[in-house]
Structure 1
Amino acid sequence: MVGCASQQADMHGGPFRTRTSTATSNYPGLRRQSAFYVGSHGWHTSIIVPRAAVPGDAWPAGVLDRDFRDFRYIEAGWGDRKFYMAPRPNVSTAFDAVFFPGASVLHVVGLDPPVSSAFAWSGLVQMPCTAAELRNVSRAIGASFEADTHQQVRALDRGLYGRVSRFYPARGQYYFANTCNTWTARMMRAGGFPANAGPVGTWTAGAVMAQARRLAKERSSKGTASPLKRNDQRVLTRAAPTPHS
């Protein structure tokens, strides 16, 4: 089984702090420095963007302006609605999610810096990009919401982490060839990274994270992004969680 219809132990664990390993990178070049993150919670992957970088018309009304106005970063992950929102997902709901196309959902979480300390990430890769590419990623996430005719959206329920998270109706159907990992790869492509969004590149979260690390390194070596703060140059590895304060 693949994507967020697999093991969800990390996804239900809540926000944690984690130790990090720092990847030394040098991003010469651009006049404007920007970045988004690709995150992994074990079997599930997501995209993290700075809230201030999201254009005002990119996301449906009611998300950033109402539910997440007090956070600096926003994490978004796409998945099967029934399985993702289940209080106790089991083998039956996982089987249905993978083999029977069903409605999807976006799980949105508000985060404060540093992003690296928000969870016990299984992996977190910073993707250096231009401001325009970051806007494109933000718009691609926004297009994933299933908004009404007035371009508004209402949360279906609180998310996995209580008041700092929400579930929203999303576009597209989830099944084995269109998972959370597929969605994450498509978001990377929106940011100008030639990620493989096919089954080979997205069969597991590990495959997506390997792509993210490789693509970020390639962009660094080509000098297509500008220097970022040392504390943000991170590729995280699994670490024992400690409570988030």
Structure 2
Amino acid sequence: MSTLPTSATKAGQYGLDALLAQPGKALIALDFDGTLAPIVADPEQARAHPQALGALAALAPKVAAIAVITGRPADVAVRNGGFANVPGLGHLVVLGHYGAERWDARSGEVTAPAPHPGVDAVRAELPGLLEGSDAWVEDKGRAVAVHTRRAADPQAAFEALREPLTALATRHGLIVEPGRMVLELRPPGMDKGVALIDHAREIGAGSVLYAGDDLGDLPAYAAVDTLRTTGTPGLLVCSGSDEVTELRERADVVVDGPEGVVDLLTALADRMG
């Protein structure tokens, strides 16, 4: 049987105790890349940890809901995660594009609003802006992401592109979401925190766990803090990384990457009986 970690904070321990006391009211929310799936050089090759589906399927029947909240398009996260048609995961939702899209395991369908026109404008201008750069573009449909992980000096390339990409995004009504060697240009108004609070309220969650690894997960951390102040206990989990330290410093529990996340989910399922 897997061992549950001890929370480094009283608020986190209260959240963990609440999850275990009433699992049927718990919302388990997780980022995808870096949390359920290891970070890889080519995002298209990212796949969920081999034991992730088993851990989620064991946990799902014991909690109110499981949500994967990701910057990826919902259908891409579903495909790369292998979430479709998995026995036991009937009430899983994938909130893609930071919550702008929603895939529901029950229906197998994605619902989403109309795309923001600024994304097409940015997509057209990016080749000229990046000419001579060794950065590359990932087209996410409703957003575009500029990656520097393959550059000769990934951090230097990241810093050099931050200002011009921010200017480009602003000109077309978009925002820039920085991450682990990636700058994503996307529409404003939705983030993982908004998505998390909306879903928690939708299902009437009595407690919330959120696990993430990157800067885009900070709004979800803030959302858990907000829920705590309004009486909903929460547990903040960091899928540890040396590239981003902000989450590690704020987390109640730090685990060793996606493997540690899987171990935590397994331990929760075991303790929930």
TM-score, normalised by the number of residues in structure 1: 0.30
Q: Give the number of the structure with larger relative contact order, counting CA–CA contacts within 8 Å between residues 6 or more apart.
A: 1
Please say which structure displays the higher CA radius of gyration.
Answer: 2
TM-score, normalised by the number of residues in structure 2: 0.28
Normalized per residue, which structure has more helix? 2
